[in-house]
């Protein structure tokens, strides 16, 4: 739950006036796409416009990220911990990109049958950290399709953490000194 000061009561209005966020993903079987859709639903319920883009369907310029309030990036893990070949160039280009101040969260799917479960999520998070972006600590790693309650909770937590990182005036997650929860869902 996010609490805001009384003076921030138009936060939701401000969020709706904010630039949209980008959910950029790559999905081989539809599992990572489903996570992306769930994230979009959570963000839109909180008043954020969220655009979904499948990185495999278009040539993506990293500078394009600056047109958004933040980025949620998703990938599946190929084979035993590898990045999918479709994002190898994107990964390499990140090493030469400065994304200072951009809020970024990372998510993905994999198969626990492999020793390096969802290692591509960790690789992408590390690469985004090299760009000086504000990379969220919490990542989402889903075993195949996101249908377990703990996975759905993790997805919602990533969305909540992302919104909190974007909001201008966070305060403690409890009512303090007469401050009211103005963002109670």
Q: What is the pLDDT of residues 103-153, one digit of tens each?
A: 999 999 999 999 999 999 999 999 999 999 999 999 999 999 999 999 999
Q: What is the pLDDT of residues 26-48, one digit of tens each?
A: 999 999 999 999 999 999 999 99
Q: How is residue 146 written in tokens?
A: 């996101």
What is this structure's pTM?
0.82
The yes or no reply on domain 6-166 and CATH 3.40.980.10 is no
Q: Is there a contact between 104 and 68 (Cβ–Cβ < 8 Å)?
A: no
Burial class (CB in 10 A: 0-12, 13-18, 19+), 81: middle
């Amino acid at each position: 739950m996010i609490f805001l000061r009384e003076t921030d009561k138009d936060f939701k209005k401000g969020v709706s006036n904010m630039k949209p966020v980008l959910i950029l993903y790559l999905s081989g079987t539809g599992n990572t796409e489903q996570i992306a859709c769930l994230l979009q639903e959570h963000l839109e319920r909180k008043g954020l416009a969220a655009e979904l883009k499948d990185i495999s369907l278009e040539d993506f310029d990293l500078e394009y990220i600056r047109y958004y309030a933040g980025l949620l990036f998703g990938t599946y893990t190929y084979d035993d911990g590898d990045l999918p070949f479709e994002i190898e160039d994107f990964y390499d280009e990140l090493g030469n990109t400065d994304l200072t101040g951009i809020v970024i969260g990372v998510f993905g799917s994999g198969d626990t049958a492999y020793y390096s479960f969802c290692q591509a999520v960790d690789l992408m998070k590390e690469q985004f950290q090299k760009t000086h972006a504000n990379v969220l600590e919490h990542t989402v790693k889903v075993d195949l399709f996101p249908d377990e309650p703990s996975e759905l909770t993790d997805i919602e937590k990533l969305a909540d953490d992302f919104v909190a990182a974007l909001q201008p005036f966070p305060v403690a997650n409890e009512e303090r000194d007469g401050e009211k929860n103005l963002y109670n869902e």
